[in-house]
Structure 1
Amino acid sequence: MQTFLQLDLPAMLAALFATMACALLGNFLVLRRQSLMGDAISHAVLPGIVGAFLLAGTRAAGPLFAGAIAAALVAVVLIELVRRYGRLESGTAMGVVFSVMFAAGVVMMEQAAAQNVDLDADCILYGQLEGILWLAAAGPESLLDPAALAALPREVVVLAGVLAVTALAVFAFRKELTLASFDPELATTLGFPAGMINLGLMVLVGAVAVAAFEAVGSILVIAMFICPAAAARMLTDRLGVQIALSLAFAAVAALGGYALAAFAPLWLGVDRALAASGMIAVVSGVLMALAILLGPVHGVLGRRMAGRRVA
């Protein structure tokens, strides 16, 4: 039990908080047909994170968050400028901007590595779930011990806070987010600033992305912004149900993916574990594939059954 609390529980909590925060915002990106925006911002914040680290010389959440938010805002503005003045569709504009900004971030990381700066590219891309340890845990009683809880890993605390803020913001502004996602012109007509709502959503996406980067890496962040919400969308047309399903899918992917990465090789007789972040992304993809095939509303099986009933 002590080994589980020290090695596995903190990593599972970090994965759970990160995936649920991404899935919560992913619902509105999917509704706005801007799923690629989560991908774009997840890539585009990289130069902001690296630049903030180089300037501040620390991995503290404050400077990295500020750099990521600045880069996310720059990415949103550049995407709009490229789309408007280049007369390109949104997906193309996003692809251009996040590719260039991500490449710039990679170049900055390579320069930092050349200067012996402690910034690990693998940590940014793949995360370090396996390195999140709670060494203060001595047993089940540690779950109720204030001193032990105060020693929880920083990644777990930060991700829990980001999830709480994201959930509070979505709950408080659900009506505005829903209206601006389905019909931004109507939202503006009714007095809701659709542009400011969109900017606030992008700021939240950037905040979640940078909070999750160190723990789970950019690859998992991208997958979790899209897969749980898109899978839930295949099963229902009701937003409340969709949000609940997306959170459930995110939890299953996080906990199931971590368990498979840690223990499935042992079950097969292999004395080594798999990358937890990668396996979580794989499980989320499997859930998405099952929703596409078996979804009763928009899935392949559901559409065929509906067609037979009509015939």
Structure 2
Amino acid sequence: MISDVWIIATASLVAISCSMVGVFLVLRRMSLLGDAISHSVLLGIVLAYLIAGSRSVVAMMIGATLIGLLTAWLSNALHRVSKIQTDASIGIIFTWFFALGVILISVYAGQVDLDQECVLYGEIAFVPFDTVIWGEQELGPRALWIIGGVFLVNLILIVLAFERFKLVAFHPALALSLGVSVSFWHYLLMTMVSLTTVASFDAVGAILVVALLVIPASSAYLLASSLKSMLWMAAGYAQVSVLLGYAMAVWLDSSIAASIAVMAGVLLIVTVLLLQWKKQWRGSQVKEAMLDGKLQ
């Protein structure tokens, strides 16, 4: 059915967009910050609605991006001015922002077309019903166009500034010594994460966004030998997760977003087990070679 195509296409764009920025989060050991932003942007979405008085995509993008950047800045500031560890400061800020967002949703539940369940789980099955109309022509789901635009922005930025992102990810101290503004590239990445999160939020929910930011990139990290190969592998893992997850959801008649997240985790576990098996097999081969040498 055409609705299945729209659902898979939307999920695929969400997956590849999240995996692209997720690679840099994993490399910079900032996966928890990605989780923090994906939850705290809820506050930005609600505040944008209350200020703008409508569910304008532009207003929500701006609100979520500003709150995402504020989350990153406050987490870093709390760590610097106190003795609180980095991970603890991130946890404090994002849970506080997320709780504020949930309270505002509860208070204004009659006015805002959002609820806690929608925020956490999303409902990508409804994507085909909210379409863009141009004149009398139906152009497809609104969520597909929004996440497609964010994907193009992420892709263009990564292609144009690939060497800068690479330098800051692997050698931040060297980047500083060369006069590269590490702070600028850090907050540019946070902006990309915020935009990707809010573009994916309504369709797939926070849980799947977090899973796709971290799990495909982590799977690729175990196998990749370069940044380029890691980006390609992360995208591949993300796409396979979408296809297997959608098949699982249809088979079990379960949540599509949750099924995709589960399959992403399964692929990571399979990758770890295969690498362990390969390591043990190589060890046994070396032992056999050593024994053969002694016997001869």
TM-score by length of 1: 0.86
Give the share of equivalent positions with the same residue, in percent: 33
Post-superposition CA distance 1:80-132 (Å, at most 9, x none): 1111112232211111111111111111111111x544333322221121101
The reply to whether residue 125 of structure 1 matches residue 101 of structure 2 is no
Q: CA deviation at 1:306?
A: 5.2
CA distance in 1, matches of 2:15, 2:77: 31
Greater shift in the superposed pair: 38-47 or 82-91: 82-91
Task: Say if 1:187 and 1:53 are closer, same or farther in 2 by CA, change over 3 A.
Answer: same
Report Cα offsets for 1:194-249 as digits up to 9, x if no partner: 11000100000000000000111111000000000000111123211111110001
- 2:243: which partner in 1? 255
C-alpha spacing 1:117/1:204, structure 2 compared with 1 (3 Å)? closer
Q: Secondary structure at the match of 1:132?
A: helix
1:288 pairs, out of 264, 268, 292, with 268
| Distance verdict in 2 for CA 1:174–1:71, change over 3 Å | same
Task: Give runs of aligned pairs for residues 231-250 of structure 1, distance below 5 A.
Answer: 231-250=219-238
Q: Distance in 1 between matches of 2:248 and 2:113?
A: 31
Contact 1:126–1:218 (Cα < 8 Å) also in 2? yes
Choose from 23, 27, 34 the match for 2:19.
Answer: 23
Structure 1 residues 59, 211: CA separation in 2 closer, same or farther (over 3 Å shift)?
same
Q: Which amino acid aligns with 1:85?
A: V
CA deviation after TM superposition for structure 1 residue 61, in Å:
1.2
Q: Which residue of 2 aligns with 1:173?
A: 161
Change (3 A) 1:175 1:87: same
- Alpha-carbon distance in 2 for matches of 1:60, 1:129: 20
2:180 counterpart SS class = coil
Q: Which residue of 1 aligns with 2:35?
A: 39
In the TM superposition, what is the alpha-carbon distance from 1:287 to its structure 2 partner? Answer: 0.7
Amino acid at match of 1:290: V
For 1:117 and 1:23, locate their aligned partners in 2 and report how far apart those are by CA, in whole Å: 30
Let me know the Cα RMSD of the aligned residues: 1.9
Matched residue SS, 1:151: strand
Contact 1:179 1:187 in 2 (8 A): yes
**Which amino acid counterpart does residue 69 of structure 1 have in structure 2?**
T
Give per-residue Cα distances to partners, 1:123-182, cap 9 Å, x unaligned: 22211211011699xxxxxxxxx975x521110111111111111111111110011011
Q: What SS is found at the alignment partner of 2:84? A: coil
Whether contact under 8 Å (2:130, 2:142) holds in the other structure is no
Corresponding residue number in structure 1 for 2:55: 59
Q: 1:307 to 1:197 in 2, by over 3 A?
A: farther
| Residue identity matched to 2:191 | V
Residue 294 to residue 122, structure 1, CA distance change in 2 (3 Å): same
Aligned-residue offset at 1:286: 0.4
Match of 1:160 in 2: 148
Query: Match for 2:214: what amino acid?
Result: I
How many residues are paired up? 284
How do 1:127-142 and structure 2 match up within 5 A?
127-133=122-128
**Alignment partner, residue 293 of structure 2:** none
Q: Which whole-Å CA distance do the structure 2 matches of 1:119 and 1:53 have between them?
A: 11
Matched, 1:218 2:210: no
Structure showing greater Rg: 2
Q: Kindly indicate whether the alpha-carbon contact (under 8 Å) linking 2:106 and 2:115 is maintained by their aligned counterparts in 1.
A: no
**Structure 1 segments (4+ residues) deviating >4 Å:** 305-311
Range 161-170 or range 301-310, more displaced: 301-310
TM-score normalised by L of structure 2: 0.90
Q: Distance in 2 between matches of 1:256 and 1:15?
A: 12
Matched residue type, 2:274? L
Alpha-carbon distance between aligned partners in 2 of 1:87 and 1:308, rounded to the nearest angstrom: 48
Shift of 1:308: 4.9
